[in-house]
Amino acid sequence: MSKLVAVAALTALGIGAPPPAASAQRSQRSWSPELGVQGGFSRFKLAGTGGLSKPVDFFDVPGFGGLGPAIPAGITALYAIVPAARQLALEVSFTTAQLSVARPFLGLGGLGITVASTGLRGDYAITPNIYAAAGGTLGFVETSGQHETQLGVEAAAGYRLHLGPRLVSRLEVNWQSVKRAKLLPPWNTYAVLFGLSSPVAPSSAPAATSPTPPSPPAPGRWQPAIGVAGGYSRIHLVGGNQDVTIMSFPIWGTGPTASPLGAVWPTPPTLYALVPVGGRLAVEPGIDFHRIQTGGITVFSGNIAGRVDYAVSSGWYAGGGLNLHVIKATKGTFSDTSKTTVIVPGVNVGWGYRFHFSGELGGRVEINYTMFKDNSDLGQATNTVGLMLGAALPLK
């Protein structure tokens, strides 16, 4: 009899309690702590002007908001997701830049500007893949002793797809509307964005699906990854009287060439990838590109780089390679009015240190030196010294 009671009790417990894996699956949140980078198409238009203001179209990879809100140019590039509930997360987006030209620029007697664009919104998971979002934005600009803040609202809807346990992609439609400020007009931005993000906390997958955590790579070894860089650059125009310093997160690459500034001040590429080729060697391609179109004028600027990295020891590495700055513009833009495309070659070297950042993310600190030759259509040669901080999202 006692045995029968025991069997009945165990059976009841088995029926009343769901399997551990099912319970863990039901309690799993739709969101995880993530850090990501995004870019894509955006259309900017001044508000309240009717048909008098022509829209400006941008295509930026990654996003290029470093000149907004003073010169709105695209969208914020970096974002972080913080889970708040099972279906709700907070998302912070951010881009900042500080530009200083030591010598006279366009007859202005020097130029200095500091800008920041940030957003805070709530992301709600309608399904495991589809989400909607709403929140607010804040822009800041300071130049010539004056500063201004500008408030706005944001709404978005998107689709998320896990490319693996370490990488999440998303496609999103986004709308922002910014109110009038004392020095700045109101404006609207409509965007279609593509983002990549990676967890910044250890995976909480059930033990049944991951019996043993992946072992870290051996010292000096490389892992496939895609990364984004930001930091300090000092650009010297060889033989000229103009030096430019930039502090930007992310770094803007060739962004100014395709912006309302129209300046040719290339920095190292914003995005980079690491491709192990065996032993201590890895190939590192780098890229960013930006396009602006308005009033019948189109300017495309691409920053393409490739180098070989060698793992020296204990996280230290050295690299060197080639650059190409590609500019394509409406006919009549360059000094030679018959040209529509100009390609400027360059070389780069770098020395840095790799480290574990957080969760699945790797990090690095690097000093690099990039040289572009002179060009009759674009002007003087440039030498750029950069101190970059990078965050890398693993690809497997």
> Are 353 and 246 part of one and the same domain?
yes
**Domain containing residue 251: CATH number:** 2.40.160.20
Q: Which residue type is seen at 361?
A: L
Residue of 390, 13, 14 lying closest to 225 (CA atoms): 390
The boundaries of the domain holding residue 89 are 30-96+111-202
Would you say residue 126 lies in a domain?
yes
102 belongs to a structural domain: no
Residue 86 CB contacts under 8 Å (≥ 6 apart), including other chains: 27, 29, 30
pLDDT of residue 335 exceeding 90, the answer is no
List, for residues 48-60, the tens digit of each pLDDT value.
Answer: 766 567 888 889 8
User: Which residue is listed with tokens 């300046």?
Assistant: 263
Quick one: 174 and 237 in the same domain? Answer: no
With contact defined as beta carbons under 8 Å apart, do 114 and 70 qualify?
no
Query: pLDDT tens across 82-105, in order?
Result: 999 999 999 999 988 888 887 655
Contact at 8 Å (CB) between 250 and 62?
Answer: yes
More confidently predicted of 185 and 387: 387
Q: Rounded CA gap, 168 and 160, in Å?
A: 7
**Considering 149, 173, 202, which residue would you say is the last residue of a domain?**
202
Q: Does residue 363 sit in the same domain as residue 289? A: yes
246 vs 266: CA distance, rounded Å: 11
Say if 230 falls within a structural domain.
yes
Q: What is the DSSP string of 207-276?
A: TTT-SSPPPPPPTT----EEEEEEEEEEEEETTSS-EEEEEEES--TTGGGGSTT------S-SEEEEEE
Are 70 and 127 contained in the same domain? yes
Cα 321 from Cα 221, distance rounded (Å): 20
DSSP state of 126: S
Do 229 and 331 belong together in one domain?
yes
215 inside domain: no
Q: Is 208 part of any domain?
A: no
386's tokens? 């950069």
Question: Where is the domain boundary, 202, 230, 257?
Answer: 202
Collapsing DSSP to helix, strand or coil, 1 comes out as coil
Q: How many CB atoms lie within 10 A of CB 19?
A: 10
> How many Å apart are CA 20 and CA 375, to the nearest integer?
66
Phi, psi at residue 94, to the nearest 5°?
-160, 140
The count of domains in the chain is: 2
Q: Residue 72 — pLDDT band, cuts 50, 70, 90?
A: low
At residue 87's C-alpha, the angle toward residues 82 and 93, to 5°, is: 35
Give per-residue pLDDT as tens, 182-229: 878 888 999 999 999 998 876 554 433 444 444 444 546 899 999 999
In a domain, 37, yes or no: yes
Decide which of 147, 171, 202 is a domain's last residue.
202
- Coil, helix or strand for 25? helix
In a domain, 211, yes or no: no
Whether residue 300 is found in the same domain as residue 259: yes
Same domain, 35 and 158: yes
SS3 letters across 331-353? CCCCCCCCCCEEEEEEEEEEEEE
Closest by Cα among 224, 227, 223, 246 to 235: 246
- Give me the percent of the chain exceeding a pLDDT of 70: 82
- Judged against a pLDDT cut of 60, whether residue 115 lies above it is answered with yes
Give the other-Cβ count within 10 Å of 322's Cβ: 12
Residues 177 and 306 in one domain: no
Q: Examine the domain organization and report whether 145 and 248 are in the same domain.
A: no
Exposed, middle or buried by CB within 10 Å (0-12, 13-18, 19+), for 53?
middle
pLDDT digits (tens, 9 = 90+) for 265-322: 888 999 999 999 988 999 999 999 999 888 888 999 999 999 999 999 889 999 999 9
The span from the CA of 272 to the CA of 251, in Å, is 12
Assigned domain for 235 exists: yes
The enclosing H or E element of 9 equals helix 2-16
Q: Quick one: 185 and 318 in the same domain? A: no
Tell me, what amino acid is at 7?
V
d(CA 137, CA 315): 38
β-strand 243-249 against 225-237: which pairing, if any?
Answer: antiparallel
With H, G, I as helix, E, B as strand and everything else as coil, classify residue 67: coil
Instruction: Looking at the structure, tell me whether residues 83 and 54 fall in a common domain.
Output: yes
Pick the residue with more confidence: 262 or 375? 375
State whether 240 and 175 are in the same domain. no
Q: Which of 23-37, 71-85, 124-138, 160-174 has the highest mean pLDDT?
A: 124-138
